[in-house]
Structure 1
């Protein structure tokens, strides 16, 4: 919690002294529109992630064992993922991204943010000693996710839509798969049929890019439809 507070303070300092802006330019303070953006992002990614779990279950013939429901554990996991996602979003899609977009333009700002997000996950996953292929895969997959979420920040002028995506994705995966601190809260994998090497490679690519690609298409569709919740006036420089 202290780390999150420090990041907020640093973000405020950067915005005030570099751009002469208040921290609310990040869209971090909830209001009706931003709240609905968060809910839409959360619900959308929950459905997409569940569909991905279903696809993987069918392809790999996964047998799941359901655990007893521990509501306290689920709440603890949710609080953990809210803090974790908010911390990452403030670092990679907060003040620094805002400044990059203002100084370098949206395209370069989003690309730099996405690359940093991808490289960060190499370290957070403890993959620095891995071979080059897995490292490149992680950078591409998480970098593309970072690109979509940074794009969402630029278009909505708020971190809350991407935050909903981030929390929803992490939370659903936590219910099924092992993860740091929390994992397999509701289901444990008992068995699966392993694919051939090339089929596993193709499916890994699909699994890595599926949710982010669907999110990008969904966001573009919403923006083109001029949906009022996502119609945000362009900020003047």
Structure 2
């Protein structure tokens, strides 16, 4: 929590020094439209993430069971951990810096810089430095995610859509299906099996299909929104 407060303080300082603005550029003030976006994009993204994991479980033959350690406190801890991690990344990549870049160099160059930075950042957070194939996959998937999230900010000049999409995917993937670094989640698998197939198309469809479909659907919904003018 202290880290996020520090980020917000730095965001205010940067906005004031370089644009004579305040934290309003983050678009965090709740409105009916923003809260609707939050619920819609969170639910949509969580649904696609659940689909991705269920498809993977089908092909690996793994079975889910409720985590014996699951409790209400564990649920609260999981929600809070994911909110903190998402907010940390969003304030860096879809916060004041993106706002200033949009003002200085235009929307598309700013979005591309944000997406590229998001992809490179995940080389380090996923610890794939030194493995070219994994670096390429991580860069393309998280870079595309970053592009959609940055577009969501540009369309609304609010962080609600980026937070909703990011949190919907992370919370479902990491906490519900225990596919992340926390070590505890809602469900556990009864046995660990690796997905094997002789078809590259099937492998791609199972591993990346739901993610790419989620990004496409979210992007199409985002671009239908009217552009807000940068101020």
8 Å CA contact retained: 1:64, 1:191: no
- Determine the structure 2 residue equivalent to 1:227: none
Offset of 1:46 from its aligned partner?
1.2
- Determine the structure 2 residue equivalent to 1:117: 118
- Determine the structure 1 residue equivalent to 2:137: 137
Secondary structure in structure 2 of the residue aligned to 1:33:
helix
Structure 2 vs 1, CA of residues 29 and 209 (structure 1 numbering), >3 Å: closer, same or farther? farther
Cα distance in 1 for partners of 2:14, 2:182 equals 32
Secondary structure in structure 2 of the residue aligned to 1:190:
coil
Cα distance in 1 for partners of 2:115, 2:30 equals 25
Structure 2 vs 1, CA of residues 70 and 81 (structure 1 numbering), >3 Å: closer, same or farther? same
**For structure 1, which segment, 86-95 or 215-224, has the greater mean C-alpha deviation from structure 2 after superposition?**
215-224
Offset of 1:212 from its aligned partner?
4.6
Gaps of 5+ in 1: 225-229
Alpha-carbon deviations, 1:9-39, whole Å to 9, x = none? 1111111111222211211222222112111
Q: TM-score, normalised by structure 1?
A: 0.86
Cα distance in 2 for partners of 1:150, 1:25 equals 14
Secondary structure in structure 1 of the residue aligned to 2:210:
helix
Offset of 1:214 from its aligned partner?
2.6
Cα distance in 2 for partners of 1:160, 1:182 equals 28
2:30 counterpart of 1:30: yes
2:17 counterpart of 1:17: yes
8 Å CA contact retained: 1:144, 1:209: no
Secondary structure in structure 2 of the residue aligned to 1:150:
helix
Cα distance in 2 for partners of 1:89, 1:119 equals 15
Moved >6 Å (runs of 4+): none
Secondary structure in structure 1 of the residue aligned to 2:84:
helix
**For structure 1, which segment, 54-63 or 11-20, has the greater mean C-alpha deviation from structure 2 after superposition?**
54-63
Structure 2 vs 1, CA of residues 170 and 178 (structure 1 numbering), >3 Å: closer, same or farther? same
2:55 counterpart of 1:61: no
8 Å CA contact retained: 2:4, 2:84: yes
Structure 2 vs 1, CA of residues 205 and 20 (structure 1 numbering), >3 Å: closer, same or farther? farther
Cα distance in 1 for partners of 2:13, 2:101 equals 15
- Determine the structure 1 residue equivalent to 2:107: 106
Cα distance in 2 for partners of 1:166, 1:236 equals 23
Give the number of equivalent residue pairs: 229
- Determine the structure 1 residue equivalent to 2:162: 162
Structure 2 vs 1, CA of residues 223 and 131 (structure 1 numbering), >3 Å: closer, same or farther? closer
Alpha-carbon deviations, 1:186-227, whole Å to 9, x = none? 22241436313653x862576346335433334424653xxx
- RMSD value, Cα: 2.3
**For structure 1, which segment, 53-62 or 132-141, has the greater mean C-alpha deviation from structure 2 after superposition?**
53-62
8 Å CA contact retained: 2:93, 2:118: yes
